[in-house]
Amino acid sequence: MATIKLASNLALDESGYSHGLLTVIETTKIVNSNSGGKRSLMVDTHEIDCFELIFNCRNTRNETMEIKTAIFGMTINPEPVETKRMGSKNIPIYNKFTTVLMRLNILTKDVLDKARKDASIIDLDTVMALFLAIKDLPVKFKPQKNEKGFIEPNLITLEVTGEMENND
């Protein structure tokens, strides 16, 4: 039997930000790719390791709403891939993984600038440990719709708003 349900809308503050708790996990996703175009019956399925960002936010009915976004590229690139105009400033845009690390205060622009000349500046093991240690970190972000029409966080607007709870 068909079921009708009410859509869940993300609760936003007066500035258009959604607030929630971020948890990072390492996972494997199954990805389908169609190599022969739209009408081809050939579908290649393979597994890809990735990081998943899980945002637990409130909806307009004050219920928990989970939003997930995956990061497939696991390369830190100190070179911006483009610049975007935001307000009156031109902001350098890095790849998705580097952007998230910067927005979560794990990497800084200073460190990335130094890494352009000396890659050993960045301790990858420490970065990985800090990133995977994120559990229920208070954050805020502006939501956007992806190409399929689903809500996802605009990672350029991601900001840390508090500290993780210490469960020791």
What is the C-alpha separation between 141 and 100, in angstroms, rounded?
A: 12
Q: What confidence score (pLDDT) does residue 99 get? A: 94
Domain ranges of the chain: 18-35+42-160
DSSP letter, residue 6: P
Closest CA to 82 of 101, 106, 98, 103: 98
Read off the pLDDT of residues 127-140 as tens digits, 9 standing for 90 and up.
999 999 999 999 99
End-to-end CA distance of the chain: 48
pTM for the complete prediction? 0.83
Read off the pLDDT of residues 57-107 as tens digits, 9 standing for 90 and up.
999 989 999 999 999 988 999 999 998 887 888 888 899 999 999 999 999
- SS3 assignment, position 40: coil
